Structures are given as structure tokens and as C-alpha cells.
Amino acid sequence: MTAVSTPGAVLRLNDVAKIYPGSPPVHALDGIDLAIGEGELAAVVGPSGSGKSTLLHVMGALDRPTHGTVEIDGIDVATLSDRALSGLRSQKIGFIFQDFFLIDGLTATANVAEGLLYRGLPRRARNERARHALERVGLGHRLTHRPNQLSGGERQRVAIARAIVGNPAIVFADEPTGNLDSATSDEIATLFADLNSDGATIVVITHDRELAARFPRLVELRDGRITGDTSLHPV
Amino acid sequence: MKSRLRLSDLVGLGFRGLAARPTRAVLTAIGIAIGIAAIVAVIGISASGRADLIATLDRLGTNLLRVSPGSGVFGTGSEVPEEAARMAARIGPVQSVSQTTRVEATVRRNDLISELETGGLAVLASRIDLLDQLSVDVVVGRFLDEATSEVPTVVLGAVASERLGIADLEPRPRVYLDGHWFTVIGILEETELHPDLERAVLIGYPVAENLFDTSESPTALYVRAAPEFLNDVAEVIPATVNPQQPDAVEVTRPSDALLARQAADEALTQLLVGLGAVALLVAGVAIANVMVMSVLERRTEIGVRRALGATKRHIRLQFLVESTLLAGIGGLLGIALGGGITVAFAANRGLTLSVPPEGIALSIAAALAIGALAGLYPAWRAARIPPAEAVRK
């Protein structure tokens, strides 16, 4: 297990710590070294309270570490302004949330197209790419449905389509199956594997060891520290 | 590597945000609509009223002076030279002069009515050019001319015709002036600037002199002068028309009454516009309130948008545009409402419709400005939400 840079790393964390002030201060993350290579499909697994969400936010440039460095696609996050950080998220990062976080009033296509909204693409181009992304996740027949007309699994597929529609360098999924039954969870895991085999780099964060075990790489997190990192096929 | 949001998408986001909670949007917009409607209606109604007032002023002219040479504390007995009108006409800037003289007679419907029941009507001897001088017209018949001035014919003022019960000239009505029957040949239109003429019957000077011994010493002189010298004329006229008692001469400008009304209208308009502005202010506070609520409810949406790459500025603009649109829609509603009220009012009162476009532009601008101002604080709060916290479960 080593954090020493893999040359093709999309994401690299060096000695990252996140400390929330208070008395006593909470060390949510401590001494994290982690590198995710291009084309990897990895799971970060840990019990609740292990710092998974904090790690996701730090990895996804939604939050900054208290110290240590985070590099995304070769860019050191610490040097970026909030505005540039937003730019980075719009171009390089896709997010998938446990509660899907779709916009109720919009069709599946419009929801997915929202993933390109902050790239300044014209509407027509956004919708075109959104349709392709929906077809890619197996929802070509649900283009004009609204979230409340879709099942939980379908909603999560829409959210996944939104995350991949812009071909980001890396996709983070936060408990993507937390609200789904086991059959649907299986389908979602399979979808991740499919997307990965097409070249997407995906990091899934979950407390579900069974789900995590289906991915080629398993990073274990406990009390803010990495306690294990095993690869089926070492990169 | 930059986030970009197209302007059209920004506006789309604003509309979508409102459409997501339509009832709330409508209720909030109504506040603005009422304020704007009040302002537009007040401006529209007063402008329509003023348009008529100005038309009246234009028609009547503001360069007419009415001179009563003999009234005042001791004025009743004073001798005014018969040539007063000619003297006045010699003042340089004076363009024309006409006059009336009080006739010592009463007017009655017929000889069976008591001499005491005059109905408050006066008999005036009038020059034949009086109507041209005053820009007054007859509604029926015609005015006195050289021929009819010689014979017992009479023209009735508007109020006089009503009190005598004579509304038209068929069948040849006559009135009774102290022992003499006079044939009515015309009725004057209403002329609010000359109440003394409305309440009088007019006969010619020759017949007045023959039958009632009326002199040409004027009771009222009507003097038109070049507008730029009107004040100078007003100053020299007393000594000209009544050299013995210049202090007794009263010079008035009938159009002043209209100007005073215009000033009063304007003051009232300003007050009402002020009230409308207060309504707008209250509506602005309501918008700010609703937007703050909306920001709290939409934390997750804000978090997701930040995760998708929205900058703080994009979030701020989204909420600003939303509140500005909200107020703008309210403003349009208000203009429609206020315009409708103005049209209905003008039609009802027979006023000339006049809705000043700058008033409309101004009220839309006011609505948009209020919306933008009301959105500032909520937008700032929305942008300040840390994205990581907003997407936390």
C-alpha cells in the first residue's frame, strides 16, 4: 500500500487532515495518503462516523483540507480560488448522491442536462448529450419522465447520467445504493462496472461491505484513517 | 478552467425557480402589482384629468384679465368713465377689450311671477364681441349681433336657462324684463371661469339704454393682452379705467382658478404616489422575506449546483434574477391593472385618456429595482452556504 504517485493518477491526496474546530477539535481525517489512477473503480468503505463523507468532500473539491495537499488531474486544489474550484468541479468532477438530488419539476433529460449547465454549452447541445447519457445508463425510454414518475433505481440512474454527461475526469458516488433495495443495488453496481469498463474513473463511498466487495479496489477507512487498501488487479 | 453560465440559462433558472412554487410566486407578486397599479392609476388618472385641464386652459387662454372697475369697499357709487374700455384698449400690449354693464332690471319667466323672485339672476348689457373675447360659445341659437342688440332679444347664461326652465328655442320662448317681453335667441354653454355670465341674461347696449337707461359705464371689462406683458397691463389698468378710485378696481385672471385646481391636483397626485411607493416598499420586504425562506428550503439545490460547478456568483445571480423577475412580473400585472383602472375611470368621467409612457417605464424600473434590492440579502446568504454542508445528509 503506497501513496507514492502513480504517474497517471487522476486524484492524489498527500497527508491530508481535516480538523473541525471545537473543544476538543474533531479530527475527521488524519494523515490520508491516497491515489486514484485513471480508469480505476474504487470503493471507500467504512462504518458511519469514519470520515467517509468528509473524505468525499475533500476529494471532490467541495471542501478544503486543514492541511495536506489534494491534486485533481494534476491541479493542486490549495492554489485555487473558490471560483476556480467551481470551475474545476464543472469540468473535471461528477457527483452522485445517496438522495439523488434531482430537480422535481424537470424531465430526466433536463435533469441530466443540468450537469452541463455551468459549462456554458448551448441548451440544444446540453440536451443532445443528456439524451446520450440517459441511453448509456439504460433510460432511453424515460427521457421525458419527471423524477416522481420514476422508481428509485431509475432516479439514481438519472443522477448517474448527470454525473457522467460531461465526461469528467473522476466521478464520486456517495452511498449511491443507500436508498435502494438489494436487487436495484446490484444493477447500479453493474452499471458502475460497465461505465468503468468504458473508461470512467469512479470512486464509490459506502458503508456496505458487500457492495464494496464487488469493486476491483477497496479502501478501508476507520476513524479518519486509511486502514486497508486492497486491489484485485493492482494498477 | 472556468464555470460559465449563459444569460439565457440564468433567466431560465429564475423563471423555473418561480414556477416551482407558483402560488407563492403569485401571492408575492400581487404585493408589487398593487403598489404599481396604485401608482400607475394615480398618475394615469391625474394625467388624463390634467390633459383636459390643459386643453381647457389652451382654449380659454391665460392672457385674459377681468377688470371690475367699480366694486370694493366704496366702489358701488363710484363713477367709471364710459370710455374706460377705449382707454384700456390704448394700453400698448392690450389686444382686445369687451365689456358688460349691469342693467337695473329683473328677469322673470312671465309677468305673473313676483318681482322678488329673480332666481338670483342678473340682467347684463353686453357688447356683441363678448363671446369671442371670452372664447365662450352658444349651445343653441346665436349670440347678440348689431341688429338684435337694438331690439328686445336676450341670450341666457347656462344657469339662467336652467332656472328659467328654457332649454331650447322652440316654441319661441320669451322672458319678462320689468315690463318688457324679450325673445330668447340663444343659450350659452357652461363656462365655469365666468360664473357671473352663467347666472345672467344678456341684452344689447342699445336696447338697454332705450328701455332701462343703462349707461356704457362698464361693470366688467374683459381685457386680452400679450401674455408676456400681462402683469404690466394688470398694474396700469386700475388707473386707466377708474382714475378717481384706482384702489377700488379689482383685476383678476379667471384662468387662475384652473391653475389653482391644477396645483391642488398635483399635490394630491404626489401624496397618492407616495402612498403607492410605501405599498411598494412593503411588497419589497415581503419579497425579501419569501426569498430568504426559499434559500433555506433550497439548501440542497444550492449544494448540488455548487457540486455541478456553479460559482458563488452564479448562485447569487440565480436568486437575484429570481426576485427581480418576481417583482417584474408583479410590475407588469400592476401596470395592466393600473392601466385598466385608468381607462375605466377616464371612460366613466369622459376624460381624455392619457397614460404617460415615462410613468410606465418608471414604475417598471421601480419594480425591478425593488426586486433586485429585495433579492440582495437572500442571494448573498444563498451564495455563502458552504457546498459540502449543503449536500450533507
Q: Which residues of B121-148 are buried (b: 16+ CB within 10 A; e: fewer)?
A: bbbbbbbbebbebbebeeebeebbeeeb
Residue type, B285: V
Provide the pLDDT for residue B73: 53
Name which of A60-64, B1-5, B232-236, B240-244 the model is least confident about. B240-244
Chain B residues in contact with A114 by the CB 8 A cut-off are 308
Residue B258 has pLDDT above 80, yes or no: no
Under a CB-based contact definition with an 8 Å cutoff, are residues B370 and A76 in contact? no
Q: Contacts of residue B384 in chain A, CB cutoff 8 Å?
A: none
Q: Do B4 and A118 touch (CB under 8 A)?
A: yes
* CB contact at 8 A, A217 and A64: no
The number of C-beta contacts closer than 8 angstroms across A and B is 101
Nearest-CA distance from A233 to chain B in Å?
31
* Half-sphere exposure (Cβ direction) of A199: Cα atoms closer than 13 Å: 3
Mean pLDDT of B97-122: 86
Mean pLDDT, chain B, integer? 88
- Backbone dihedral region of A220: left (phi > 0), alpha (psi from -120 to 50 degrees) or beta? beta
- Check A120 against B1: CB less than 8 A apart: no
Distance between CA B391 and CA B379 in Å, rounded?
Answer: 18
Return d(Cα B350, Cα B373) in angstroms, integer.
Answer: 40
- pLDDT score of B76: 56
Rounded Cα distance between B24 and B12, Å, is 18
Instruction: For residue B383, give the C-alpha cell.
Output: 451564495
Answer for the pair B115, B145: CB distance below 8 angstroms, yes or no. Answer: no
Q: Which secondary-structure segment (H or E) carries A189?
A: helix A182-197
Q: Is the pLDDT of residue B129 over 60?
A: yes
B→A contacts (Cβ < 8 Å), by residue, are: 1-6, 8-9, 16, 19-20, 300-301, 303-314, 386-388, 391-393
* Nearest residue of chain B to residue A175 (CA atoms): B393
Over the stretch B176-227, which tens digit does the pLDDT of each residue have? 988 899 999 999 998 878 888 899 999 999 999 988 988 888 888 899 888 8
What residues in A contact B7, CB-CB < 8 Å? none
> For residue A99, what is the DSSP state?
T
Peptide bond into B69 cis (omega under 30): no
Query: Rg of chain A over CA atoms, in angstroms?
Result: 17
Distance CA B275, CA B131 (A): 44
Judge whether A77 is closer than 8 Å to chain B, CB to CB: no
SS3 of residue B281 by DSSP: helix
Q: Which of A87, A88, A97 sits opposite B391 (nearest CB)?
A: A97
C-alpha cell at A16: 491530508
Provide mean pLDDT across the span A185-198.
94
Q: Is B141 a residue whose pLDDT tops 50?
A: yes
Our CA-based measurement puts residue A234 at a distance from the nearest CA of chain B, in whole angstroms, of 30
Instruction: Assess contact for B148 and B204: CB atoms under 8 A.
Output: yes
Q: CB–CB of A114 and B2 under 8 A?
A: no
Q: Is the peptide bond before B171 cis (omega within 30 degrees of 0)?
A: yes
Dist. CA B329–CA B375, nearest whole Å: 15
Task: Give SS3 for B382.
Answer: helix
The whole-number pLDDT of residue B254 equals 83
Which triple of cell numbers denotes residue A168?
Answer: 469528467
Residue B385 reports pLDDT greater than 50: yes
Residue B133, CA distances (Å) to B64, B126, B127 in order: 8, 12, 10
In angstroms, the CA B138 to CA B148 distance is: 15
pLDDT digits (tens, 9 = 90+) for B33-88: 999 998 888 888 888 777 777 777 777 778 888 888 765 455 455 667 888 888 88
* Count of all residues that appear for chain A in the document: 235
Of B4, B36, B27, nearest in space to B338 by CA: B36
- Window from A122-131, A191-200, A202-211, B88-97 with minimum mean pLDDT: B88-97
Higher pLDDT, A213 or B257: A213
User: What pLDDT does residue B384 have?
Assistant: 95
Q: Note the pLDDT of residue B85.
A: 86
| Reported confidence tier of residue A1, pLDDT bands at 50, 70, 90 | very low
Report CB contact under 8 Å: B1, A86: no
Helix axes B22-60, B357-384, angle to 10 degrees: 150
Question: What's the pLDDT at A193?
Answer: 95
Q: Look at residue B135 and tell me whether its pLDDT is greater than 90.
A: no
Q: Over range A116-127, report the average pLDDT.
A: 95
Cβ-contact A16, A70 below 8 angstroms: yes
d(CA B98, CA B91): 14
Could you give the CA distance from residue B59 to residue A83 in angstroms, rounded to a whole number? 67
Residue closest to B328 by CA, chosen among B350, B361, B294: B361
pLDDT given at position B77: 57
With the CA atoms of B327, B31, B382 and A121 taken in that order, what torsion angle do they form, in degrees rounded to the nearest 10? -30
Distance CA A131, CA A161 (A): 9
- Given a contact cutoff of 8 angstroms between Cβ atoms, the answer to whether A41 and A189 are in contact is no
Contact B330, B32 (CB under 8 A): yes
ipTM: 0.93
- Tell me the C-alpha distance between B121 and B156, whole Å: 10
User: pLDDT value at position A180?
Assistant: 92
